[in-house]
Amino acid sequence: MLISCPDQPGIVAAVSQFLFEHGANIVQSDQYTMDPEGGLFFIRIEFDLPDIEENIERFQRDFTHVANKFQMDWKLNLTSRKKRISIFVSKEDHCLLELLWHWRSGDLDVEIASVISNHPDTQPLVDSFGIPFYHVPVTADTKQEAEEKQLSILGDNVDVIILARYMQIISPSFIQHYADRIINIHHSFLPAFIGGKPYDRAHNRGVKIIGATAHYVTEELDGGPIIEQDVQRVSHRDNVEDLKRIGRQIERSVLAKAVAWHVEDRIIVHNNKTVVFS
């Protein structure tokens, strides 16, 4: 259960009492307050309730009384229901491979519904994992048609889209279908070097640190809520290709963490920020 609401006394007690009265056992609880005096309060609670799937509608209906009292924005997710993801890629495969390895090892507990690419290069790799691959070419003239085809492939059964170095700008109309459910990996430490060729621009600027950023996609280019970031030191001896090689390692780990946290329901989005219970 993920909850955000105005901070005030009694929130934790009310939720805990409700869960106790419904026979639930709290397994883990994490909370954060922006400001105890008039700020917002965030909490993530994992609990065990054997018959929750059969009685989820009643449970949600009963909890509405608690939620209304504290003006809660809340959602309940069942860990028994694996999230379905679709991975969008272009030509580079390092982020895609990282996700596939995590999935095959069981560390990423999801169903991969599809891999969609604007190039055919990664199809043999995806086929070897037994995952449906779709080649949907995209040009400036065919962007709307391509996105309509992508949406038809996704259908209504995909929970989150991962842009694993998918080098295309997503249109606002597409984003509206998946608000806070499209995760992108950008190959710089945002907000530095927004847009294309960040490694080239980082090299030209002579930076001593490069990084990668996983964030939710919004209409603002590379401006969505940040989920995870990491950096590594570089020097004047590193050329652009060195930066790309070093950066690929950062991109892989940052994206994998962000995707895992999303599918484990560890993230609450508030305005253009995230609270991540990692």
Instruction: State yes or no: is 121 an active-site residue.
Output: no
Q: Three-state DSSP class for 79?
A: coil
For residue 162, which of 86, 103, 276, 253 has the smallest C-alpha distance? Answer: 86
Please give the angle made by the CA atoms of 73, 111 and 245, to the nearest 5 degrees: 95
Distance, in Å, from the CA atom of 224 to the CA atom of 231, rounded to the nearest integer, reads 19
Cα(198)–Cα(210) distance, integer angstroms: 9
Structure tokens belonging to residue 52: 């929750």
Question: Which residues are CB-contacts of 60 (< 8 A; sequence separation ≥ 6)?
Answer: 76
- Cα 170 from chain centroid (whole Å): 16
Sort 263 into a burial class: Cβ within 10 Å, 0-12 / 13-18 / 19+. buried
Do 110 and 162 contact (CB within 8 A), yes or no? no
Alpha helices, H only, 41-181: 56-69, 94-105, 123-128, 143-154, 172-177
List the catalytic residue out of 30, 48, 121, 222. 222
Alpha carbon of residue 169 to chain centroid: 17
Write out the catalytic residue numbers. 222
